[in-house]
Amino acid sequence: MSEQPHAFEGRAPCECGPAKELTPNRTAMMAKQKNQGNIMIVDDPPANLKLLEDMLRQQGYRVRSFPRGRLALSAAVQQPPDLILLDITMPEMNGYEVCQHLKSDQKLSRIPVIFLSALGDTADKVKAFQSGGVDYVTKPFHFEEVQARVETHVELRRLQMESERRAAQELEIAKQVQFRLFPQILPSLATLDYAGSCIQARQVGGDCYDFLDLARDRLGLVIGDIAGKGIAAALLMATLQANLRSQRAFALDQPQRFLRSVNQLFYENTADSAYATLFFADYDDQAGCLRYANCGHPPALLLRSDNSLERLGATATVLGLFEEWDCSIDERQLFSGDILALYTDGITESFNDAEEEFGEQRLIEALRRHRELSSPALLAAIVDEVLRFSPHEQHDDVTLIVAKCRGN
């Protein structure tokens, strides 16, 4: 005679006998083999809850059950389960609504939901999946079917969480590696006081800044922005920074050759669509002369001691898109009290709740307002203004270099 399914039928009384008993030894053995998943059951007939609880506990799962959707939602916030078995027809809040609330909560949205319902029409099942369910079992059902689906989704959840844990660990390692790529030691200069900072929008980012010791009292100031975000942009940033450091021997006397070489390496070692904007400056500490190339980057701001402003605009196109590439070199004389600011568009394009951008003009006003501060303090004051102007989640890296000329 074929086995009859367990009769969980909405609010109808449970007509099945008690669950098959497992011996203590067998129960213990099976519990060890399980992932010890934390399962939540949401179903209002008490008989259904009790029988399903007992069956799952005998399989080694930790089980909590709730007769109402609101109670279950509150409990899930306090202690998120690994899996939810959810009825549809319940008082106060039906299963579709419960699932929709779960999926709208960032903390709970990844929890898999299996619907258990006496509603068997295709439209009911479609609605369950549209509300966020991952599976659907129609009552009455065989417990073996429920068990198999529970095992599958608990294991998938375990694998997902393990994958996310490894990814987070690897991302943290990448963050530490990238942090060490930023300059750790600042070469000392007699006539220039300078500082740099990068606050990344994600754990790793696509902005870079650097201070290159070019020898003979010469300093290279570099700021760049890779197209894109996240891990891909961070890898490209590391590639660009390595190219800059490896080719810097040419920067002292042949800046155009230096930048052509950097572009060639970046072009050859990245995808066709990869590119970067870059501002490179070579400061001569003895002569007070600044030579620079702006490769498609936002214009640097040179605030003179009398508060007049010069914008150091583009002298070349972006790096990495073209094999045949060249640039021109411009120069400026710096005098005591002059301030140079290099920044990425994460500064000027930060926006507030009214969707107004911080913009270049606010940056200029902040430079003028805080110009008497030292470079590290000036940098900190400007970054603080940007973050207060745009207090919500960052959409781009915020990177800034400021340098103040002390004169000879």
Residue 99: half-sphere exposure toward Cβ, Cα within 13 Å: 27
Q: For strands 38-42 and 62-66, give the pairing.
A: parallel
Which tokens go with 249? 């021997």
Q: What pLDDT shows up at residue 202? A: 66
Q: What pLDDT shows up at residue 178? A: 62
Q: How far apart are CA 89 and CA 96, in angstroms?
A: 9
Q: 116 near 139, Cβ under 8 Å?
A: yes
Q: 145 near 52, Cβ under 8 Å?
A: no
Burial 229-245 (b: 16+ CB within 10 A, else e): bebebbbbbbbbbebbe
**Domain 24-168 is of which CATH architecture?**
3-Layer(aba) Sandwich (3.40)
SS (HEC) of 40-107: EEECCCHHHHHHHHHHHHHCCCEEEEECCHHHHHHHHHHCCCCEEEECCCCCCCCHHHHHHHHHHCCC
Name the pTM for this structure: 0.65
Q: How far apart are CA 116 and CA 135, in angstroms?
A: 9
Q: How far apart are CA 269 and CA 236, in angstroms?
A: 9
Closest CA to 242 of 266, 223, 258: 266
First-to-final CA distance of the chain: 102
pLDDT in tens for each of the 408 residues of the chain?
Answer: 444 444 443 333 333 334 444 444 444 444 444 446 899 999 987 777 788 888 899 888 999 999 999 999 999 999 999 999 999 999 889 999 999 999 999 889 999 999 999 898 999 999 999 999 999 999 888 888 888 999 999 888 888 888 888 877 766 766 666 666 778 788 889 999 999 998 876 666 678 899 999 987 899 999 999 887 667 777 778 888 888 888 887 887 899 999 999 999 889 888 888 899 999 999 999 999 999 999 999 999 999 999 999 999 999 999 999 999 999 999 999 999 999 999 999 999 998 988 899 999 999 999 999 999 999 999 999 999 999 998 887 778 889 999 999 865
Q: What pLDDT shows up at residue 50? A: 82
Closest CA to 167 of 205, 112, 204, 208: 204
Which tokens go with 98? 């419960």
Q: 297 near 225, Cβ under 8 Å?
A: yes
Q: Which amino acid would we find at residue 404?
A: K
**Domain 182-405 is of which CATH architecture?**
4-Layer Sandwich (3.60)
Please state the separation of Cα 370 from the chain's center in Å. 32
Closest CA to 38 of 7, 81, 67: 81
- Inter-CA distances, 325 with 266, 279, 336, Å: 12, 15, 35
Q: What pLDDT shows up at residue 342? A: 98
Residue extents of the structural domains in the chain: 24-168, 182-405
